[in-house]
């Protein structure tokens, strides 16, 4: 009777080689580490040869937009920025300018830009409507119980800093931009967050404006 041990050793060697090859293949597929320096270059200068306009034109120096309709990106979480750029490539978030730019970018470039803007310091905003600031504060901190609207602070944190990889930073964001996005969630024009769609549909225009104004003053 032949001894089975040599055959087992041969089988084990082949199995280990297969596992090593699998691990190596997975390692090769791992995304490259984000390069904030490259992200800075693309953010500031774009790449006209591929139809990528400079982000700074709309989002301001270091991601601090001075255009009320365009969001401040400085200090925003990397994962959130990357997700939004990917969403602009598909049907869930459509914007004529951003969709064109996002479709021209590689995922590596998205990670690089996200790494750059997330490391920048965000400029402060301020609430402008003293008549509604208390209403906005109440909605942000406690929600609207009778409409089943949860407190914004529950996801975006009491100071608006958000939770990395889960919920975006919104502190100091332009009132007009926040109003626009909540309205888009409500109408379905923006459809990349089931939670925000449900919440915004329960809010009136006045409530949206009040909470957006309060958010602008968070630091």
Terminal-to-terminal C-alpha distance of the chain: 80
- Percent helix, percent strand, percent coil in the chain, to nearest 5: 60, 5, 40
DSSP assignment of 54-105: -THHHH-GGG---STTS---TT--HHHHHHHHHHHTSSSB--HHHHHHHHHS
175 Cβ contact list (under 8 Å, min separation 6): 68, 125, 128, 209, 212, 213, 215, 216
* Residue 165 pLDDT level (bands cut at 50, 70, 90): confident
- The mean pLDDT value for 24-46 works out to 82
CA distances 123 to 73, 112, 130, 219, Å, are 10, 21, 21, 9
> How many whole angstroms separate alpha carbon 89 and alpha carbon 112?
17
pLDDT for residue 43 is more than 50: yes
Residue with tokens 């905003």: 125
Are the C-beta atoms of 65 and 72 separated by less than 8 Å? yes
Question: What pLDDT is recorded for position 32?
Answer: 79
**Contact by Cβ (8 Å): 121, 74:** yes
User: What average pLDDT does the chain have?
Assistant: 91
Same fold, 36-118 and 133-216: yes
Class of the CATH domain delimited by 36-118: mainly alpha
Domain ranges of the chain: 1-30, 36-118, 133-216
Which is more confidently placed, 108 or 26?
A: 108
Q: What percent of the chain has pLDDT over 90?
A: 85
What band does 24 get if pLDDT is binned at 50, 70 and 90? Answer: very low
Cβ neighbour number for residue 148 with a 10 Å cutoff:
10
- In this prediction, residue 55 carries a pLDDT of 98
Q: Helix H segments across 143-218? A: 153-156, 175-187, 194-200, 205-216
**Which H or E element spans position 171?**
none
* 172/5 Cα distance (integer angstroms): 69
Looking at residues 28-32, what average pLDDT do you find?
A: 67
Task: For residue 44, give both structure tokens.
Answer: 């500031």
Q: Is the pLDDT of residue 144 over 60?
A: yes
Fold of 133-216: Cytochrome Bc1 Complex; Chain D, domain 2 (1.10.760)
Give the C-alpha separation, 84 to 110, whole Å.
10
Rounded distance, CA 107 to CA 191, Å? 21
């Amino acid at each position: 009777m032949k001894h089975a041990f040599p055959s087992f050793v041969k089988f084990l060697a082949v199995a280990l080689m297969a596992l090593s090859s699998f691990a190596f293949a997975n390692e090769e597929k791992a995304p490259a580490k984000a390069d904030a320096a490259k992200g800075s270059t693309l953010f500031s200068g774009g790449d006209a040869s591929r139809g990528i306009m400079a982000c700074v034109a709309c989002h301001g120096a270091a991601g601090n937009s001075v255009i009320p309709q365009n969001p401040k990106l400085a200090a925003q979480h990397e994962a959130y920025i990357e997700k939004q750029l990917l969403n602009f490539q598909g049907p869930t978030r459509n914007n004529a300018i951003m969709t064109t730019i996002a479709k021209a970018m590689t995922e590596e470039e998205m990670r690089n830009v996200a790494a750059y803007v997330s490391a920048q310091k965000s400029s402060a905003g301020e609430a402008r409507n003293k008549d509604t600031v208390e209403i906005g504060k109440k909605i942000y901190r406690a929600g609207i119980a009778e409409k089943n609207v949860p407190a914004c602070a529950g996801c975006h944190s009491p100071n608006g800093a958000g939770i990395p990889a889960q919920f975006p930073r919104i502190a100091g964001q332009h009132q007009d931009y926040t109003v626009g996005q909540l309205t888009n969630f409500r109408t379905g024009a923006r459809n990349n967050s089931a939670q925000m769609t449900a919440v915004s549909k329960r809010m009136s225009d006045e409530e949206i404006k009040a909470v957006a104004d309060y958010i602008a003053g968070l630091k």
